[in-house]
Structure 1
Amino acid sequence: MRPTGPDDRHVLAAAITCQATTIVTWNTADFPADSLDPWHIVAMTPDDFLVEQVSIDGRRVWACVQQIADSRRNPPETTEDVLDALERAGMVESVAALRAGRWS
């Protein structure tokens, strides 16, 4: 079993304490499955996590994207603006799933 890195132990400790099932991080390499398995926790990238959420309830995720766009006032943003920003941030697969669904 390879332990999590010393800079990441607090993240695992917090997940264990709150009985989380998922650690969402771009840094999945520092959370090897064999160190998470005893606590029934998995590490996922934000993109993979959001893809999973879209598959569970795409309408709800789309509503969240709309809510984010509606809250942007200066400058105003559309849902496409929010999706573009998410895509630039590395959320490529989840944005593709959202664009394919179009729950509007």
Structure 2
Amino acid sequence: MTVVYDANVLYPNALRDLLIRLAQTDLIRARWTEQILDEMFRALSRTRSHIPASKHEKLRSLMNASVRDCLVTGYEPLIAGIDLPDPDDRHVVAAALRCRADLIVTFNLGDFPDDKLTDLSVSAISPDDFLLDLIGLDTKVVWACIQQIVDSRTNPPASIDDVLGQLERSGIIEATAVLRIS
């Protein structure tokens, strides 16, 4: 399954970390564009202005290097033919069409209405529902990715509860609840 991550799901740190780690597994093939990353970094700059631009560029490089074939290019000519409530989101759909994605993972489902996407053979899904689907496909892989996040956090150390709490605060409510009982 090929998915395009919208900027808003790449913004929260724990969710971004989990989505990237899941993209490194055989469960999904994740894609994004430099334009999507630009949006994410603009949001980070607005809310975390104390973080220097050099750290943003390092994160961009790490993200692009960590997921094989993640960058979608050549989607720009498709933008003009896409009709959405917010024209600024057309590039996300264009990228999904260009890479033949099955899903767009986004918090902004209202910006990607089914009636506009059905004929394009792509659907939008919330990150919570997306993670629920992946848990249903292979709970062990999702848990392994969460454990990798815990293991990578050493200063300060984090626990599974810490990471699940961060995901909850990011809006991943149902998937987190399922993970807590599984």
TM-score normalised over the length of structure 2: 0.53
Structure 1 counterpart of 2:111, from 21, 27, 30: 30
Residue 46 of structure 1 aligns with which residue? 127
In angstroms, what is the RMSD of aligned CA positions?
1.2
Residue 25 of structure 2 aligns with which residue? none
- CA displacement 1:11-30 (0-9 Å, x = unmatched): 00000000000000000101
User: How far off is 1:80 after superposition?
Assistant: 1.1
Q: SS of the counterpart of 1:23?
A: strand
**Are residue 89 (structure 1) and residue 135 (structure 2) matched?**
no
- Counterpart amino acid of residue 148 in structure 2: Q
4+ residue runs over 6 A deviation: none
- Counterpart amino acid of residue 168 in structure 2: E
User: How far off is 1:65 after superposition?
Assistant: 0.4
**Are residue 71 (structure 1) and residue 152 (structure 2) matched?**
yes
Q: Distance in 1 between matches of 2:181 and 2:123?
A: 27
How many residues are paired up? 100
- Counterpart amino acid of residue 144 in structure 2: A
Q: Distance in 2 between matches of 1:19 and 1:38?
A: 13
TM-score normalised over the length of structure 1: 0.92
User: How far off is 1:38 after superposition?
Assistant: 1.5
- CA displacement 1:76-95 (0-9 Å, x = unmatched): 00111100110111100010
More displaced, 11-20 or 38-47? 38-47
User: How far off is 1:35 after superposition?
Assistant: 1.2
Q: SS of the counterpart of 2:119?
A: helix
> Identity of aligned pairs, percent?
52
User: How far off is 1:39 after superposition?
Assistant: 2.2
Q: Distance in 2 between matches of 1:14 and 1:62?
A: 29
